[in-house]
Amino acid sequence: MPPLSSSPPPAPLAAEARHPVTIVLNGRRRSGHAHPRLLLSDFLRHELGAHGTHVGCEHGVCGACTVRIDGVASRACLTLAVQADGRRIDTVEGLADGNGGRMTALQEAFRRHHALQCGFCTAGILMSLSDYLDRNPKPTEEELRDMLSGHLCRCTGYAGIVRAVMDVTGGTAASQAHQPAEADHV
């Protein structure tokens, strides 16, 4: 992938006009148009059709919309689409792409440990984790829970999420209370 041209010098963007925005979405160059006030979350979902990123609160608390911007986990609902112009955006749709089309070990662990139910918060949690585990590959459970506290999940009580992460990182969940899915089925 050739590098994108460097970002244009910051100049005021006309509020009423749609501006071209080009990002590298999960390794592929994608372009669209955005009013300056359009949120990155809306741009991804409704302009580019990448609806794997979800919107849960639009005020930066719930974490459902988390994507990686140039590698850094960020809230897409607190980012303007025009701010993302020229940047690399990674979303949940790209995780398996980077793993030869198969789910990553973390995604598989989520499934095995029933770390998701409705799945609405899951994309954001996976994206935060993919950034976090790059920087801290073997977190303690306490560290992990602290990191996860930037995400709200209403279905799971977080237990399965913690178990799944500790499973793939080789750590021990102190709260590994219960049996995971039968090995046969994994």
Interacting residues with another protein between 90 and 109 (CB under 8 A): 91-93, 95-96, 102-103, 105, 107-109
Least distance from another protein to the Cβ atom of residue 164, Å: 10
Least distance from another protein to the Cβ atom of residue 69, Å: 17
Of 141-180, binders to another protein (CB under 8 A) are 144-146, 148-162, 167-168, 174-180
Residue nearer to another protein on the CB measure, 43 or 87: 43
Least distance from another protein to the Cβ atom of residue 110, Å: 6
Residue closest to 141 by CA, chosen among 162, 168, 114: 162
Of 5-34, binders to another protein (CB under 8 A) are none
Residue nearer to another protein on the CB measure, 3 or 16: 16
Residue nearer to another protein on the CB measure, 5 or 152: 152
Q: Quickly count: other Cβ atoms within 10 Å of residue 138's Cβ.
A: 11
Contact between residue 109 and residue 171 where contact means Cβ atoms under 8 Å apart:
no
Distances (CA, A) of 121 to 65, 66, 72, 161: 8, 9, 18, 11
Give, rounded to a whole angstrom, the gap between the first and last alpha carbons of the chain: 35
Of 74-93, binders to another protein (CB under 8 A) are 91-93
Residue closest to 63 by CA, chosen among 3, 111, 126: 126
Residue 135 corresponds to which tokens in the numbers above?
Answer: 């920087």
Residue nearer to another protein on the CB measure, 6 or 179: 179
Q: Total number of residues binding another protein (CB under 8 A)?
A: 74
Of 109-138, binders to another protein (CB under 8 A) are 109-112, 114, 116-123, 126
Distances (CA, A) of 129 to 87, 118, 135, 166: 20, 19, 10, 12
Per-residue contact string for residues 58-77; x = within reach of another protein by CB under 8 A? xx-xx-x-------------
Contact between residue 123 and residue 91 where contact means Cβ atoms under 8 Å apart:
yes
Q: Which of 45, 68, 75, 87 binds another protein (CB under 8 A)?
A: 45
Exposure b/e, 37-63, CB count within 10 A at least 16 = b = ebbbbbbbbebbebebbbbbebeeebb
